[in-house]
Amino acid sequence: MKQTYISEIPKHLGGEITIKGWLYNKRSSGKLGFLEIRDGSGIIQGIASKKDVSEQCWSDCERVTQESSVIIIGVPREHPKRPGVYELDIKDMQIVQVAHEYPITPKEHGVEFLMDNRHLWLRSRRQHAILRVRHEIIRAVRDFFDNNGFILCDTPIFTPAACEGTSTLFEVQYFDDKAYLAQSGQLYNEATAAAFGKVYCFGPTFRAEKSKTRRHLTEFWMVEPEVAYAKLDDIMELSENFISYIVGRVLENRKEELKQVERDTTMLEKITPPFPRLEYDNVVKILQLGHAEGKLENRFEWGGDLGSPDETYISSQFEKPVMVHRYPAAVKAFYMEPDPERPELALCVDVLAPEGYGEVIGGGERASSLEFVLNRIHEHGLPEEAFNWYLDLRKYGSVPHAGFGMGIERAVAWICGLEHVRETTPFPRMLYRLKP
RNA sequence: UCCUCAGUAGCUCAAUGGCAGAGCAUCCGGCUGUUAACCGGAGGGUUGUAGGUUCGAGUCCUACCUGAGGAGCCA
């Protein structure tokens, strides 16, 4: 018999259907068996009555264990006491496999245990909800760029020696050479932007930072648009439209999932353009005031990069994401365009998510002058020959251009209101955790 | 790399320096509307590892291992 998915059940009320899935949980009351079945599309409670099913079926209902794979024939109908909730009257059941004792019981578990059993943890309601939101975010990201004239131009994951020179890279053997896993598609994006105008890349990136916090993965997905002829203001506008679109899509299509993870959506509903724009200089003042009022432990000095407590404090002053722009050039990557009015500042922007979720977007205008980029490469002690192709972009039709990168996992954590990014991807890679 | 906290049954946790326990899971029995179902019973332990203090250590001390989240660094 043709398989029906649980999500499609409202269309099949009163008719006999076949559900193929797994036993999520089981309860019984004498001659009644309550079997919660999941099939990936949803969960439904099946009811087997001893007097209505075969002896074989009843004994199967009794012996079937949590997460056993089962094929069930039954008739769906509304719950007698709960409108809008559906149940399945079980007519017959075939056990595909009786599951061994399942480690994840319907009880609380610790982080270590759940992470060791991540391959099984994915079957739970909460993980389903989060990963469905992730899927919606990724679809929204693609739709946003695809519908706005951007071309997907993916960038390589194996990269040669030097890239940005800022963060720590993973080194891998590449035949007789050494290669590094990409920490950003940024530089290659500049080449494709010069070819296609508006581009984006979307893929995994790798950081070998020994960061062990709720915001860090060693492998994460980043989407990076790059726009030829764009200035800092253009990219800030793109950022706020982009984020607002994604949040809107999740609110529109993933209400149930947000409810499942107990996300208070009132904060998300406020995410509409424009976002507050703050110059770095003003951020310094706010942070120093915060310190004077005893709300921040350390006094922030002009010239430093924002630490995590600083970001949290700044974002807590606003309900929307905050765009902090014009950082000191010294704390940013070598390719940032200097502010013509104050060359010690870079034309860059970080978007800080509300509620303490930190930086979700980093970007800015890229330096377009050959001489300037060359100087910066030397100042940063980077090997010029590795950047010959990058310098070519400044020789052959150099234009102002700008772009940004958004870490998907941080966006998912923020939109879902999660404590930790480890739940935002099926198999998170973190410092000291490579399995499963 | 540094700081803080934690490690006891398959899981989540109790146990004043004095007999190592409960709930869930598993197995057996009961219950015709259960919702982390419930009720009764059973099995299940080298208390992370190695030393030390003590008549006596799960508990106190030292080192190490593992995990957690914070700093730095980063998205």
pLDDT (mean) for A403-408: 95
**How many Å apart are A207 CA and B50 C1'?**
36
* Whether A128 and A83 share a structural domain: no
**Number of domains chain A is built from:** 2
- CA→C1' distance for A65 and B22 (Å): 24
Half-sphere CA count of A419, side-chain side, radius 13 A: 2
Both A56 and A185 in one domain: the answer is no
Among A26-40, A61-75, A87-101, A227-241, top mean pLDDT goes to A227-241
- Mean pLDDT of the residues in chain A: 91
> Which DSSP symbol is given to A336?
B
* Distance (Å, whole) CA A314 – CA A306: 10
Average pLDDT over residues A222-234: 96
CA of A46 to C1' of B11 (A): 27
Q: Is A120 left (phi over 0), alpha (psi -120 to 50) or beta?
A: alpha
A156 pLDDT more than 90: yes
Q: Over the Cα atoms of chain A, what is R_g?
A: 26
Are the C-beta atoms of residues A186 and A403 closer than 8 Å to each other? yes
Does A154 lie in the same domain as A82? no
Can you give the CATH number for the domain in which A36 is found? 2.40.50.140
Are residues A268 and A374 both part of a single domain?
yes
The nucleotide closest to A186 (CA, C1' atoms): B75
Q: Where are the alpha helices (DSSP H) in A149-254?
A: 186-196, 232-253
Whether residue A65 is contained in a domain is answered as yes
Q: Same domain, yes or no, for A88 and A148?
A: no
The most confident of A22-26, A163-167, A402-406, by mean pLDDT: A402-406
Residue A159 lies in a domain: yes
Three-state DSSP class for A340?
Answer: coil
Residue A183 scores a pLDDT above 70: yes
Residues contacting residue A289 through CB under 8 Å, at least 6 positions apart: none
Q: How confident is the model at residue A101 (pLDDT cuts 50, 70, 90)?
A: confident
* Range(s) of the domain holding residue A37: 6-97
Strand nucleotide closest to residue A210 (CA to C1'): B73
Nucleotides of B under 7 A from a protein CB: 1-2, 10-13, 23-27, 30-38, 66-75
Cα torsion angle, A303, A305, A308, A310, sign: positive
Identity at A227, one-letter amino acid code: V
Nearest Cα neighbor of A375 from A348, A338, A408 is A338
- 8 Å CB contact between A140 and A250: yes
Three state DSSP letters for A262-315:
CCCCHHHHCCCCCCCEEEHHHHHHHHHHHHHCCCCCCCCCCCCCCCHHHHHHHH
Of the pLDDT bands very low, low, confident and very high (cuts 50, 70, 90), residue A100 is confident
Structure tokens at A249: 């899509």
pLDDT at A135: 97
What pLDDT score was predicted for residue A84?
83
- Residue A376 CA distance to nucleotide B30 C1' (Å): 79
CA distance A77 to A244: 39
Residue A262 reports pLDDT greater than 60: yes
Q: Which residues contact A60 (CB under 8 A, 6 or more apart)?
A: A93, A94, A95
Same domain membership, residue A343 and residue A199: yes
Q: What is the pLDDT of residues A357-393, one digit of tens each?
A: 889 999 999 999 999 999 998 888 888 888 999 999 9
Which domain CATH number covers A340? 3.30.930.10
Do A276 and A177 sit in the same domain of this protein? yes
Q: Are residues A15 and A49 in the same domain?
A: yes
Q: A107: pLDDT confidence band, cut at 50, 70 and 90?
A: confident
Same-domain pairing of A92 and A124: no
Nearest nt (C1') from A113 Cα: B11
Is residue A344 in a domain?
yes
A383 and A279 inside one domain = yes
| Residue A239: inside a domain | yes
Does the residue A110 lie in any domain?
A: no
Residues A93 and A128 in one domain: no
Q: What is the pLDDT of residue A106?
A: 80
CA A58 to C1' B24, in angstroms, rounded, equals 25
Q: Is the peptide bond before A321 cis (omega within 30 degrees of 0)?
A: no
3-state helix, strand, coil in chain A (%, to 5): 35, 30, 35
* From A210-219, A242-251, A393-402, the region with the lowest mean pLDDT: A210-219
